Amino acid sequence: MQSHPDRIILSADAMRRADRRTIDEFGLASFTLMETAARGVADEIERRMADLAERAVLVLAGPGNNGGDGLAVARLLFQRGADVFVLYHSGAEGASAETQLNLELLRRIPESEERMLTLHRWDAAADLQTQIDTARGAMAPWGPFDLAVDALLGIGVTGALREPIASMAEFALSARSIAAIDVPTGLDTDTGERQGAGGMHADFTVTMAATKPCHWFGAGPKSCGDVTVVDIGLPAHLMEAAMQEPGSARVAGAATVARFLRSASRGEHKFAVGQAAVVAGSNRYSGALILASKAAARVGAGYVVCASTERAAAALDAQLPEVVALSFRATESGTLPAAAAAPILAEFGSCRACLVGPGLGYAKDDGARDEIRGLVGQLVREMQAPLVIDADGLNALDRPEALRAVLERQGATVLTPHPGEFGRLVEASGQRVPTDPAHDRPTWLASTWARRFGVVLVLKGSPTVIAGPDGTTFVAPDTSRALATAGSGDVLAGMITGLIAQGLDPLEAAVAAVHLGLDAATDYAAEHSAASCQATDLIERIATALHRY
């Protein structure tokens, strides 16, 4: 069990609204919030640097409230013993009242014989090269800085870096380490993508109240370094309200996953602890059937039954005799026929969860596609148990009528697409995956389309995002190179199915399965090269990962 705690992810807009409501509804002064934030940043810097005495710190302060945070941090670090050079954007002089106040407080600090404090104004209206040369000259006596604090832009700024911010940011590069306040300059808060050339790569980032999407996605994790969250006193109910906004999410910690897993059935016989069905495989892809079935059994399903072609079922029986297989004569394309749906429904009617899709062979030819569309379509319409649809099962939902059947299902549905499959699902609905920065972030996409499809959506990626039909969204706490291997998706789908069969809520089952897979991958990578991991290696470690919870 990896020791990650629960964490919250708020979009830039959600964070700003929570901030604003705290000020408007509770009368908490904006300056107080800024001071609390600055104290948290200064505490983290002091913790990392141990002794601030004789440390040289460069603070880059932009024209907005992030710059105001930086000015307050500069004051606090100076008071705690550091030598501080502040390069501030002239726009700070006309910024918010609290930013102006922090600038004035710095100006009023008396000279000290023991420590150095320099305030250098960057005139945004003056010649750029002149400002660069002047700032460089002012810093020359300081030598290399021990730390640069990036307080230039913060959250919510989009588009390529413009001058003079781009040139100001370059002064941080000579420092021995870089700390960012909220978000490193040049990083999109909601997507984690770099905004053109330039920008910061921080050694650590201190963010306020909650993590942001950029701390988890895209180039963000590498650009942000270690991320620390500072509690600035926003009321809990406002944070919960912000969590309901599209794009916001929760990172389930180990304790939350353990709570989800505790709801599994504790029955004493195989049917009481969950009967799981797997409809998967084809003559060519028997491996997908084997992996998914093994994973469902290994995660704790008491009884696993499968349906596949005769050849795939024979391969399964040779490797996993504990699983009961219902076999069918393959079509000329080597796939399950559409006619198999009726006997599957009759045979598997008592199952508590059913997986359909891995290795069905949808892409073989037109004949195979028609057969599998028919098979999957009938299972979607008539299967009463919760249905997990993966891989070729998702590919078979490539027409509007197939998606309508998903929307009309009475039982719960879990879809587990990778980005390409997700894009095809959206296009089959008559829409397109948006590409504008406000709407292409994984948390927004997952929560929005889980609601529209009325499903649990497991959007596989780095990291994976899991969203429920009410929009509740979780993000995996990490990713692993060991998961980038053929068959890992079959293992994940099998685990989700096995956990649902044991009585877990489908959303909680999906979250728990993602965590178990990550734990198994992390365990493998601790002993071997992550690049050598195979899907069977993950299955072998499920039991150990599960035991920890």
From the number of C-beta atoms within 10 Å of its C-beta (0-12, 13-18, 19+), residue 503 rates as middle
User: Annotated binding residue at 222?
Assistant: no
User: Annotated binding residue at 466?
Assistant: no
User: Annotated binding residue at 155?
Assistant: yes
Residue 388, phi then psi, degrees to nearest 5? -105, 120
User: Annotated binding residue at 157?
Assistant: yes
User: Annotated binding residue at 343?
Assistant: no
User: Annotated binding residue at 463?
Assistant: yes
Q: Which of 373, 372, 362, 419 is nearest to 400 (CA)?
A: 373
CA dihedral 74, 78, 83, 87 (to 10 degrees): 20
Element (H, E) at 540: helix 535-548
User: Annotated binding residue at 288?
Assistant: yes
Contacts of 498 (CB under 8 A, 6+ apart): 274, 276, 295, 296, 297, 298, 299, 300, 301, 304, 353
User: Annotated binding residue at 182?
Assistant: yes
Q: Which two tokens stand for residue 471?
A: 């929009």
User: Annotated binding residue at 462?
Assistant: yes
- Quickly list DSSP for 122-167: E-TTS-HHHHHHHHHHHHGGG-S-SEEEEESS-TT--SS--TTHHH
User: Annotated binding residue at 199?
Assistant: no
User: Annotated binding residue at 337?
Assistant: no
From the number of C-beta atoms within 10 Å of its C-beta (0-12, 13-18, 19+), residue 329 rates as exposed
User: Annotated binding residue at 225?
Assistant: no
Distance CA 329, CA 387 (A): 24
Distance CA 158, CA 138 (A): 31
User: Annotated binding residue at 40?
Assistant: no
User: Annotated binding residue at 69?
Assistant: yes
Q: Which of 350, 327, 264 is nearest to 301 (CA)?
A: 264
User: Annotated binding residue at 302?
Assistant: no
User: Annotated binding residue at 158?
Assistant: yes
User: Annotated binding residue at 512?
Assistant: no
Binding-site residue set: 65-69, 150, 154-160, 182, 185, 288, 359, 418, 460-464, 489-490
Binding-site residue set for AMP: 460-464, 489
Binding-site residue set for K(+): 66, 150, 185
Binding-site residue set for (6S)-NADPHX: 65-69, 154-160, 182, 288, 359, 418, 490
